[in-house]
Amino acid sequence: MSRSGPKIILLVVFLVAAGSGAAATNLDKRMLGNLLQISTSLERAGRLEDAIQVLLPHYQDARVLNRLFDLYSKNGKPAEFLALAEKEYSGEPEDELLLAVYLRALGAVGLDDSLAHVGRRYIARSPQEEMRYRLVAGQLRRSGSPERALGLCLEARKVLGRPGILRRETAEVLIDLGRFDQAMDELLSYLESNPNELPVVQRQAYRILDQGEPGSSLLVERLEKALAGVSSKQYGSALLAMSVDIDLTLGRSDQSFARLRELLDGMAPGQAGGRLALFIARALKLENYALVLRAYTLADSLGLMDRGKALLEKAEIRLRMGEVEGAEGELLELAARREDKKLRVQAMRRLGEMYLEWVDRPADALRWYRELEKTGGAEDLDLGEMKLKIAQSFIRLGQLHEARSLCDNLLAAGRENPGDFARILLVKADLHFYLGEPDSASAAYSAAAKFLIGEPEANDVLERVYLIQNDKSPGAVISSRVGRALYQALCGNLQEAAGQFQETLQLAADSAYRAQLYYQMGRMYEAAGEFP
């Protein structure tokens, strides 16, 4: 049994006992929360029947009954639930949630006629309430009866004498039925009366957009027509905002940007800044980086964003686009600005990362990290780790003496963390090995191994110590050649390295020692991602 098993059982027993008397129609908030939490835990554990039994004594609470519908459906017993829901609803209560659950239950077993009958009976009790039409029409739609739902929406307009009601619901059903032009009529009328409901309208517009070229063409055409005849400023702004997003989604960058500029005209700076931030976020999500750069330039020109922040953001985007030179120019400009230390520090840090990770210029990276130390902007950076990466980059580029100097400086500075100190020693040991200095390499590897006891890499370190210390060749030529071969492999010259290994194997007579050479050769191929 899992560790949480006994707790769940005890709580289940308590809840069932609490509900063993007359079931309350309205549970208090705490009791309801406990019931729903336990039912969810049991459901996640695959114990659907237990989850049902926990809730069943309290089914007269409509919120519990609503949750039971989900559990019975997942358990493959919708008909059994229908009997329970029908029993509870038999008194024709006015509880909207209870009605909704009952209608869902009827729809789940395919009794659409009964669903429509019960819904109409509910409406007939108070036919002047718009909410009743909305509730029943919505359930008819969700149950797969869009034609009936549409008929009910249109009937509500006629009965209530208000042609402008239920436009959103009518549009949803029309989209279900593929009648997109009529749906747009409803959506645009709804937006004109409710310009603050743009997200609701936009969600439905995207359903039309998802239909492919016919849907997208219709949507663009209707939006352009609506914009041409708009009279209300608030409605016009809502239409423009939707056009910006739709054009952006369709890849119509120029049209989207033009609409954005039109939308920003006349907006207060705070509101315009928020709208521009939304545009940038959306364009980033779509990976339309060229358009993001245009948006940052626009923000700068309109004074909606600090120039320093705009430079930093544009540099990040240029790096994503692979435009390293452009990013470098913007970061250098920002690093030269003295008025904002925080942004300047960020620019220097990014320059260091860019030179190290994007263009393999470790000397430039080191220069900016040293500049960070001078300005006092390196408090949240592990500069030791950064400089160690720089040393490794020097090694890759063949600048071994620069790497050695940097490692010596790091070792002289001292490291409080033994693991960090060991990594510096390992890089220094590799340097000696690559330079054909096996004795110095062995000493550095042995020193590092003391800090790495119990760590996975300790075995590899000790294998190299063994290779060097057991080299019986004159002048330690074997281990010297192995170090140079591994360096060739590190620099990408795998075939040359393999050839050197083959030649070196001819110099080793002892079979155990030859096995060690094969091991080093195998690790070389593994590091290169090749397994011959």
Q: Which position has the token pair 């364009």?
A: 283
Alpha-carbon distance of 419 to 451, in angstroms, equals 7
Q: What is the pLDDT along the chain (532 residues), one digit of tens a residue?
A: 344 444 444 344 444 444 433 344 578 888 888 889 899 998 898 888 988 898 888 888 888 888 888 888 888 888 888 877 777 777 556 677 777 888 888 888 888 788 888 778 777 777 778 888 888 888 888 887 889 889 989 989 988 989 889 999 999 999 999 999 999 999 999 999 999 999 999 999 999 999 888 899 999 999 999 999 887 899 999 999 999 999 999 999 999 999 999 999 978 888 999 999 999 999 999 999 999 999 999 998 888 888 888 899 999 999 999 999 999 999 999 998 877 888 888 898 899 889 888 888 888 888 888 887 787 765 555 667 778 788 888 888 888 888 888 888 888 876 656 667 888 888 888 888 888 888 898 998 888 888 877 777 788 888 888 889 988 888 888 989 998 988 888 888 888 888 988 888 888 888 888 888 898 888 888 887 876 5
Distances (CA, A) of 358 to 332, 353, 491: 16, 8, 17
Query: What pLDDT is recorded for position 380?
Result: 56
Per the document, the length of the chain is 532
Q: Give the residue ranges of DSSP H helices in 250-323.
A: 253-264, 269-285, 289-301, 307-320
194's CB contacts (< 8 A; 6+ apart) are: none
Q: What is the pLDDT of residue 18?
A: 44
Per-residue pLDDT, 288: 94
pLDDT at 382: 66
**Residue of 96, 97, 102 lying closest to 117 (CA atoms):** 102
* Cα–Cα–Cα angle for 341, 347, 350, rounded to 5 degrees: 140
Q: Which residues of 270-303 are buried (b: 16+ CB within 10 A; e: fewer)?
A: eebbebbeebbebbeeeebbebbbbbbebbbebe
In whole angstroms, what is the distance from residue 97 CA to residue 119 CA?
A: 13
Residue 531: the pLDDT is 65
Distance CA(464)–CA(72), nearest Å, equals 65
The letter for the amino acid at 202 is Q
Q: Is 389 left (phi over 0), alpha (psi -120 to 50) or beta?
A: alpha
Predicted pLDDT of residue 378 = 56
